[in-house]
Amino acid sequence: MTRRIGALVERAAGPLEGRGLARPGGLTVIGYHRIDDTGGHLSVGVEHFKSHLDWIDESGFDVVDLTTAGFVQEGARPSVAITFDDGYLSVAESAWPELKARGWPAVLYVVPGYLDGDRAFPWDTSTRGSHAELVDRSRVRELARDGMTIGSHSLTHRYLPGLSTAVARAEILDSRRALEDLLGQEVVTFSYPMGGWNASLRDLVAEAGYATAVTVTRGRNHPDGDPLALRRPVVESDPADFVRTMKGYYDWLRPFDRWRETRRQARSHEGLPANHAGL
């Protein structure tokens, strides 16, 4: 989102909010990937990340976890859930200490197929470096013991809408079992790789026993929403853009996000390529 478009959105949405026309409250789930200063796709700088947390703190948001479905309360103070996809080591080293110091919960969505040894995601292999490093099994256990919520981001990070029901079920259910075996505790939240979800996948997520699941559709969540298809904007570094996201200025882009995802699924019969620089 360019700065100019962001400014236009703010001009348009500000008066709506001022007149009470925008739906108040609700839960904003925000999605990060890497927290480091290497720049590039899906990276948020360390100082920017801290400024996001400061804004949340100063703005009176309740910071909530995604371990139960009944967390969205209308009319109450606005709430936020902080999530990280893919399991990058930089989250363990730079983000979690900041969150823990504030006593805030957060979810790290990891991919069990990428927890062993020297593995890196296909989209990171051409630019391997410290930014591409992932947490391993012992680090995930350590984070869980330290209070971070661990969620599943599927077994191997494939685009689920392109898969057969049997394979998609394995990606969703077996990843939960693998993480529960590793952690010795329940894993109750799921993140659809690359935001790829539909009604059938949502039913598989329910069947697997998850309480919540997150997409990459923008917008806030309200009690009448589906806890297994939570809206979740992916956050960028720019503090001004972060504030617009948190104020719900981009909520109106939700239909566009859904349309884009539906079109992608129509074009993808065999799944997106493994090196898709995804989310």
Find tokens 């330290």 and name the residue: 146
Residue number, 86 or 257, with CB nearest to Zn ion: 86
Residue 171 in contact with Zn ion, rule: CB under 5 A: no
Residue 86 in contact with Zn ion, rule: CB under 5 A: yes
> Which positions from 220 through 279 interact with Zn ion, judged by CB under 5 A?
279
Distance CA 191, CA 230 (A): 9
Q: Give least dist CB 83 to Zn ion, A.
A: 11
Q: Give least dist CB 278 to Zn ion, A.
A: 6
Residue 270: what residue type? E
Residue number, 54 or 116, with CB nearest to Zn ion: 116
6: closest CA among 255, 254, 243? Answer: 243
Distance CA 144, CA 193 (A): 21
Residue 124 in contact with Zn ion, rule: CB under 5 A: no
Residue 85 in contact with Zn ion, rule: CB under 5 A: yes
What is the DSSP secondary-structure string of 49-87? HHHHHHHHHHTTPEE--SSSSTT--TTS--EEEEEEETT
Q: How far apart are the first and last CA of the chain?
A: 16
Residue number, 159 or 249, with CB nearest to Zn ion: 159
Instruction: Tell me the residue nearest to Zn ion as measured from the CB.
Output: 85
Distance CA 218, CA 215 (A): 9
Residue 133 in contact with Zn ion, rule: CB under 5 A: no
Q: Which two tokens stand for residue 164?
A: 């057969």
Q: Which two tokens stand for residue 179?
A: 């993480």
Total number of residues that touch Zn ion (CB under 5 A): 3
Which of these segments, 77-85, 200-208, 250-258, 260-268, binds Zn ion (CB under 5 A)?
77-85
Strand partners, 27: 79, 221
Residue number, 86 or 171, with CB nearest to Zn ion: 86
Q: Give least dist CB 33 to Zn ion, A.
A: 7
Residues near Zn ion, by CB under 5 A: 85-86, 279
